[in-house]
Amino acid sequence: INKIIAEENRPPAVSSLNTDKNSPQVAGTAISLTAYAGDPDFDLILYRFFVNNKPVTDWMTENKLVWTTTEKDVGENHIYVRVRDKYYASSNKYEEVRMIRFSILHR
């Protein structure tokens, strides 16, 4: 008898979330964010970026975002990346999150 063994889908892990500029920056500055994640099953990883708990992207395969700051961003901001693999059941859920703080100053 042949048995098919289904392996459990293991979640991806975020190794880092980096910016191309150091905090703080003045309002109007474009900040490039790059997230790095790996999946132990080598599944396609999906990324979703948030600034202060507001989504600024949908789920996407791109691990980069350019955040163009405005006067509304003055103060400390919490930037998040959420990751999941393409086999995760729900688009409203995620498997891991990474957060960094970034301060924006008045021009």
Closest CA to 47 of 33, 61, 67: 61
Strand partners, 60: 47
Q: What confidence score (pLDDT) does residue 87 get?
A: 84
pTM of the model: 0.89
Please state, for a pLDDT cut of 70, what percent of the chain lies above it: 92
Looking only at Cα atoms, what is the longest distance across the chain?
72
Count the Cβ atoms, other than its own, within 10 Å of residue 21.
11
